Chain A
Amino acid sequence: MSKVRLAPSGPPILNEAGGALEFGRGARLRLAEAVTPMTGDDSIPAEADLICPDGFGNADALTVTLTSPKASLNYRANLALDLANTSDTDEGEVVLFLEVSIDGGATYTTRAKNAHLISPGGEAITVARQAQVWMPLVSGAALGINDAAPPASIKVRARAGLVVGVEGTVFVNSLATSGGGAPVAGLNGTIHLELEECF
């Protein structure tokens, strides 16, 4: 395990008796996270597109960032959100992607993806469910980080694509104001994106 330092150039951290400080693999060092509702066009496109607070197809993708990542540390990420299918008859299948960038956001690489079925409800019933995708512990080196030329940051963003179903009927459901007979405003949304740095 790498020595733990207060800063890249700082001295190794020890306990007061002088022994090396060691955590187990997966102990979290840092966390960055974000939650957001999705306004605008929340219809999931057939071609996977970026999840943004103001809908798909925009430049302001929801992104979480950790500065000064290390090759020898591990990183994990998770996206959770609600999906909704408004079709009476057509089944939907949504693929979620987690993408990582170590060059400040110029290029992203897909590091995890999975698929989620969402059934139609019939007779104008909207079916909704939660979906998640995880990027389990991956070493910084495996993500392309080289301590000899350390990147300034590691960034994670997410995409969603509708691989089965009818565009315009399957949505991300992350409301700022609920529906229903007694609407609730000021909601934080169901979209939650997090990135951890771990030993």
Chain B
Amino acid sequence: MKGIRLSPSGPVLANGAGAGFNPGTGARLRLNEAQTTVGNSNVIPTAPTPIGNALGSTFIECVMPLPDPGLEYRATVVCDVENPSTNVAGQVELYVETSVDGGTTWSEQASNSHRVNSTEVAPAVPLARTVRLDMPLTFGSTLGVTAGTTALLMRCKIGASSGGNVLLLSSPVTPGGDLKSKGTVYFGFEECF
């Protein structure tokens, strides 16, 4: 295992006898996270598409430089989805994908499905809810990390198996005129022992 330092230039931690410091499984070594608002193109398509500042354009990714096959990685994605219709029952799927080749190819690591109901009243009253997906602790080697991997990337896709092109990803830029909104989209990506 690599030496653990209190800071990049700090001394390597050791136990009193000088042996390497070895915390338990799941102790967090590094955290990379991101939040974003989603602008104009927030209609969730049937075909899963990466989440970015808009859907179908440049996507958000969390990057973990110099990953280790012997360490474990976990990810959490949270966002709000909205059903503005009066008669379309919605169901959205979230996907966590990782890449070990700089983003050329992506592999799906976790996915789940969430119902997003509509109202049966007119004019339509949009209903919104939080959805979340977790990729539990997974070894770097399982994700394809090798000794030569320069970075482990994580992104998230969203698609609607029902209600596609009607449901919305709700992460507004200016809720109530508040220009400081960070959005509801949150990505967390951890490296752990």
Where the two chains meet, the residues of A that have a C-beta atom closer than 8 Å to any C-beta of B are 5-6, 10-17, 21, 28-35, 37, 66, 80, 82, 84, 121-123, 125-130, 173-175, 178-184, 186-190, 192, 196-197
Q: Give the chain A neighbours of B17 by CB distance below 8 A.
A: 11
**Given A84-B115, A187-B112, A32–B14 Cβ distance below 8 Å?**
no
- Is A181 a contact partner of B23 (Cβ separation < 8 A)? no
Q: Which B147-168 residues have a C-beta within 8 angstroms of A? A: 159-164
Q: What is the bound-complex CA distance between A112 and B42, given in angstroms?
A: 37
Q: Give the chain B neighbours of A31 by CB distance below 8 A.
A: 25-28, 74, 137, 192
The 9 A-B pairs of least Cβ separation, nearest first, read A31-B26, A180-B162, A180-B161, A30-B24, A128-B115, A178-B113, A11-B16, A16-B11, A13-B15
- Is B134 a contact partner of A179 (Cβ separation < 8 A)? no
Which one of B58-66, B125-133, B170-178, B181-189 is at the A interface?
B125-133
- Is A182 a contact partner of B164 (Cβ separation < 8 A)? yes
Q: Give the chain A neighbours of B134 by CB distance below 8 A.
A: 33, 35, 80, 188, 192
- Is A187 a contact partner of B111 (Cβ separation < 8 A)? yes
- Is B110 a contact partner of A35 (Cβ separation < 8 A)? yes
- How far does the Cβ of B120 sit from chain A's closest Cβ, in whole Å? 5
* Residue B89 is within 8 A (CB to CB) of chain A in the complex: yes
Q: What is the bound-complex CA distance between A35 and B133, given in angstroms?
A: 9
Q: What is the bound-complex CA distance between A179 and B161, given in angstroms?
A: 7
CB closest residue in chain B, given A182 = B161
Residue from B16, B112, B136 in contact with A14 in the complex, judged by beta carbons closer than 8 Å: B16
Q: Give the chain B neighbours of A66 by CB distance below 8 A.
A: 24
Q: What is the bound-complex CA distance between A192 and B6, given in angstroms?
A: 32
- Is A21 a contact partner of B13 (Cβ separation < 8 A)? yes
Q: What is the bound-complex CA distance between A184 and B164, given in angstroms?
A: 13
Q: What is the bound-complex CA distance between A155 and B160, given in angstroms?
A: 36
- Is B6 a contact partner of A28 (Cβ separation < 8 A)? no
- Is B136 a contact partner of A35 (Cβ separation < 8 A)? yes
**Given A6-B22, A29-B27, A178-B161, A184–B14 Cβ distance below 8 Å?**
no
Extra contacts, 14 of them, besides A180-B91, A182-B164, A188-B112 (Cβ < 8 A), are A5-B15, A11-B17, A14-B15, A33-B26, A80-B132, A82-B115, A125-B118, A128-B117, A129-B129, A178-B161, A181-B46, A182-B46, A187-B111, A188-B110
5 contacting pairs across A/B (C-beta < 8 A): A182-B46, A184-B111, A184-B113, A184-B161, A188-B134
- Is B162 a contact partner of A181 (Cβ separation < 8 A)? yes
**Given A33-B136, A82-B115, A84-B115, A184–B93 Cβ distance below 8 Å?**
yes
- Is A12 a contact partner of B15 (Cβ separation < 8 A)? yes
* Residue B116 is within 8 A (CB to CB) of chain A in the complex: yes
CB closest residue in chain A, given B134 = A192
**Given A12-B16, A121-B120, A184-B161, A173–B26 Cβ distance below 8 Å?**
no
Q: What is the bound-complex CA distance between A15 and B10, given in angstroms?
A: 9
- Is A29 a contact partner of B23 (Cβ separation < 8 A)? yes
Q: Give the chain A neighbours of B19 by CB distance below 8 A.
A: 6
Q: What is the bound-complex CA distance between A14 and B93, given in angstroms?
A: 47
**Given A35-B134, A182-B46, A15–B13 Cβ distance below 8 Å?**
yes
- Is B24 a contact partner of A29 (Cβ separation < 8 A)? yes
Q: What is the bound-complex CA distance between A10 and B11, given in angstroms?
A: 21
CB closest residue in chain A, given B127 = A127
- Is B15 a contact partner of A17 (Cβ separation < 8 A)? no
Q: Give the chain B neighbours of A174 by CB distance below 8 A.
A: 112
Q: What is the bound-complex CA distance between A184 and B24, given in angstroms?
A: 36
Q: Give the chain B neighbours of A196 by CB distance below 8 A.
A: 26
- Is A179 a contact partner of B162 (Cβ separation < 8 A)? yes
